[in-house]
């Protein structure tokens, strides 16, 4: 089996194609013949080594695949064999011709939804859904989505629009991306620092932050009274250690900030939402925005594009 492995953490050049034995599903697992692999921001963060040393040299990166079940482990339902599925593989194991996943992390794909679209939405759209829910986003709210050009941000724009948000501001890096985000439901386009439009609200009821990094306190300052910020990513690094002081200094405005990980959602609820989103995408009511489809052996190049900030939507790898 061919797989991309990380032989050195840091630059994308540390990722190389490797011949490995075919994986064998354990009890409660399935074996999937991979048709598409989603390339996510967390993959790049792990590859850079910025999340610590918990991942071994030689690991297969990636967390989501779509394809066909070709085998099951002991005790698993043999009726799964032959089904087209999306699967979460954990924090590794996806950049390969075959992958294993727990039965509980597998969702059947509806007719009419491609494997490429499935891995574009499979992780990102549920994160966007539950982050908006955690922020108690309601009809009429003003929403700011920071880092909206990635797959989570794009899904958040569409879902906020479907919730009836009063205004949806986005931060992004170019006019072209701004136009594309407007077509998906954004009403105000700002630069990465949150500037650039006289039409932007002075403050926001909800801020969904996918970037993190040093500028988090500046976006806390953009919260309206009783405003809610939810951090769903740290592709720009961790916030400064004293970022909570911005909340304390505006104590009378009752602002709040929280973090969100999909790991905190019960699997049954997570899969119910994901399956509904797959159905919506198959019916054209939710859009999978694919930046490019690249061969598996070009995973390093896919990461270079992400590091350079070139990606709008998601890059998908195919074996």
Q: How far apart are CA 36 and CA 207, in angstroms?
A: 32
In the prediction, which pLDDT does 155 show? 98
Apex CA 288: angle with CA 286 and CA 205, to 5°?
A: 60
Across the 319 residues of the chain, what is the mean pLDDT of every consecutive 10-residue run? 97 97 96 97 90 85 98 94 97 96 96 97 98 98 96 97 96 93 96 83 95 95 98 89 93 96 94 97 96 98 95 97
Alpha carbon 70 to chain centroid, angstroms: 27
In the prediction, which pLDDT does 201 show? 87
Q: Are 121 and 88 in contact (CB under 8 A)?
A: no
Apex CA 129: angle with CA 241 and CA 201, to 5°?
A: 65
In the prediction, which pLDDT does 200 show? 83
In the prediction, which pLDDT does 16 show? 97
Torsional sign, CA 7, 314, 294, 318: positive
Q: How far apart are CA 188 and CA 194, in angstroms?
A: 10
C-alpha dist (Å) from residue 132 to 75, 186, 190, 244: 37, 15, 20, 21
pTM of the model: 0.94
In the prediction, which pLDDT does 237 show? 86
């Amino acid at each position: 089996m061919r797989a991309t492995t990380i032989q050195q953490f840091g630059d994308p050049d540390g990722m190389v194609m490797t011949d490995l034995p075919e994986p064998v599903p354990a009890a409660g697992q399935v074996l999937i013949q991979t048709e598409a692999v989603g390339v996510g921001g967390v993959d790049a963060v792990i590859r850079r080594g910025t999340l610590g040393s918990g991942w071994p040299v030689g690991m297969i990166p990636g967390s989501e695949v779509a394809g066909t079940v070709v085998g099951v482990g002991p005790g698993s339902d043999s009726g799964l064999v032959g089904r087209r599925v999306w699967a979460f593989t954990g924090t590794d194991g996806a950049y390969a011709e075959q992958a294993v996943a727990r039965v509980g992390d597998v969702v059947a794909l509806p007719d009419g939804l491609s494997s490429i679209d499935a891995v574009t939405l499979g992780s990102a759209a549920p994160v966007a859904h539950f982050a908006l829910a955690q922020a108690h986003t309601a009809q009429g709210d003003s929403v700011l989505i920071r880092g909206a050009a990635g797959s989570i941000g794009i899904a958040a724009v569409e879902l906020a629009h479907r919730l009836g948000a009063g205004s949806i501001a986005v931060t992004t890096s170019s006019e072209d991306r701004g136009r594309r985000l407007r077509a998906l439901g954004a009403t105000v386009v700002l630069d990465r620092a949150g500037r650039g439009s006289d039409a932007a609200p002075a403050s926001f009821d909800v801020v969904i932050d996918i970037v993190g990094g040093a500028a988090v306190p500046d976006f806390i300052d953009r919260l309206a009274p009783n405003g809610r910020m939810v951090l769903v990513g740290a592709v720009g690094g961790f916030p400064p250690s004293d970022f909570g002081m911005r909340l304390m200094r505006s104590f009378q405005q009752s602002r709040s900030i929280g973090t969100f990980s999909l790991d905190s959602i019960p699997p049954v609820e997570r899969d119910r939402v994901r399956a509904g989103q797959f159905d919506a995408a198959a019916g054209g009511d939710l859009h999978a925005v694919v930046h490019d489809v690249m061969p598996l052996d070009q995973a390093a190049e896919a990461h270079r594009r992400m590091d350079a900030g070139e990606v709008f939507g998601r890059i998908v790898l195919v074996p």
